[in-house]
Amino acid sequence: MEREPDGVSLRMYVASDTAPSGHARRQLAALCERLGGERWEVEVVDVFERPALAEADRIVATPVLIRLFPAPRLSVIGDFSDLDAVAAALDLKEAVDR
């Protein structure tokens, strides 16, 4: 799990066929664009395709966006209607600006 010290690693769990997950995917793209996509590593996981991974990450609600790196691990649950709130919750500004 070697990573660039200034990178940001995110994982988003979605459920393929649900409206909130569809909305969240689009919002995630917008979020990456807004914050500048260069140093982002984003993995989108469908819980129904990879339930074992969802189990390992103890996912309950979807969609959920997890900041895997840098520590500490933070997560936001929801369809991310308010992008600023998501960025704040994951402390992304600080992570990006570092």
Q: Which residues bind another protein (CB under 8 A)?
A: 13, 15, 18-21, 23-24, 47-48, 51-52, 54-55, 58-64, 72-82, 85-86, 89
Nearer to another protein, 30 or 85 (CB): 85
88 sits in which H/E element:
helix 83-89
Q: How many CB atoms lie within 10 A of CB 32?
A: 16
Coil vs helix vs strand at 10: strand
Counting every residue written for the chain, the total comes to 98
User: Which one, 5 or 72, has the nearer CB to another protein?
Assistant: 72
Minimum distance, C-beta of residue 91 to another protein, in the bound complex (Å): 11
For CA atoms 98, 96, 72, 87, the dihedral sign is positive
- Phi and psi at residue 9, to the nearest 5°: -115, 125
If the CB atoms of residues 3 and 88 are measured against another protein, the closer one turns out to be 88
Q: Tell me the closest approach of the beta carbon of residue 2 to another protein, in angstroms.
A: 23
The answer to whether residues 63 and 77 touch, using CB atoms and an 8 Å cutoff, is yes
Residue (3 or 50) nearer to another protein, CB: 50
CB of 5 to another protein, least distance (A): 21
